[in-house]
Amino acid sequence: MAANASAPIAVSSKLTPLPKSTNPNVQHVVLGDLLFKTWYPSRYPEELIGRDVNRLYVCQWCFKYCQDLVPFLAHRKLCCARIEPPPGQLIYSKDDYAIYEVDGEEHQLFSQNLSLFAKLFLDNKSVFFDVAAFYYYLLVYDAHHGPSRSPGPQIIGFFSKEKMSWDNNNLACILVFPPWQRKGLGKIMMGISYELSRLEGHIGGPEKPLSELGRIGYLKFWQARIANSILGMKNKTTLSVQDIAEACWMLAEDVVSTLKEMDVLGTKKRNDGSLAISKARVREWVSLNKVDLAPPVDEGGFTEDYLVEEDE
């Protein structure tokens, strides 16, 4: 996309700043043609941007950054990433959304710049320079239909995952970029993380502890996932926690905490000492809370090339 000095910058109104534990060193960020406030400090090099920056310009395609508008516009004209697909491998595509898997070791500069940008909106769980040990899963959207007016695919969020996790964590950190928040997009990435666990044959969950917002988001996701699984088991009237954990590829501790929040655990214990789960109470809970049980991820959306690699 060609850019010029008169290119408009839209101010996003989708944001609700979080309580700040530390004042951010960057007050506002321009991502492509969107201007919005930051929430937390990030470790951008002071020798490159200064100690207290009012506005930082970030490329929407490669996440390179600068403090001045003119070089930012010049970069946008020449950025190779603007006419290429996002880095990494396309692993999932459904409707207007796609997921690309990026190896932090193969794309170190991109992953570092993405992490620095993400830290402006994350209070913790952000790795800046030791990116080689992580995969980054980019949530990509057709920007023609989003708040940005720029053509072509737009990276609107991501989650990271350790290549080797002794705790079977399927997600390290997750972020939907502020202009695209409150659209239910986080559950797509959560769903992908659990589908990856299923494909790998490992029951897992997000890295703990979760932030308060992370806990709220995951609780909603887990509730719908568990309810869908329970009501989908037509041949069983009662189920154990282990039954649900295996069906949902979730950790038993996450299943228990979610069921307690839903208040659907029975009072009678099974022969093995575990508490039974009443499908009738789950059905009543879904109706009362008007929960959409449609899975956020379609198993058929994974690319054939990726599925073949996982089987090898």
**Residues forming the active site:** 207
> Would you state the structure tokens that stand for residue 11, as one six-digit string?
């101010």
> Would you state the structure tokens that stand for residue 91, as one six-digit string?
């692993």
CA distances from 81 to 30, 287, 289 (A): 17, 46, 43
Strand 205-206 to strand 169-171: parallel, antiparallel, or no bridges (unpaired)? Answer: parallel
**Angstrom distance (rounded) from CA 96 to CA 141:** 6
Considering only CA atoms, which of 68, 41, 64 is closest in space to residue 52? 41
Whether omega before 209 lies within 30 degrees of 0, making that bond cis, reads: yes
Whether the CB-CB separation of 146 and 156 falls below 8 Å is answered with yes
Cβ within 8 Å of residue 270, ≥6 positions away: 238, 240, 276
**Angstrom distance (rounded) from CA 134 to CA 156:** 19
Q: DSSP states of 118-170 as a string?
A: HHTT-SS---SS--TTEEEEEEEEEGGGSS----SEEEEEEEEEESS-TT-EE
Q: Which residues of 49-77 are buried (b: 16+ CB within 10 A; e: fewer)?
A: beeebeebbbbbbbbbbbbeeeebbebbe
First CA to last CA distance, the chain: 39
CA angle 233, 237, 243 (to 5 degrees): 55
> Would you state the structure tokens that stand for residue 180, as one six-digit string?
């695209």
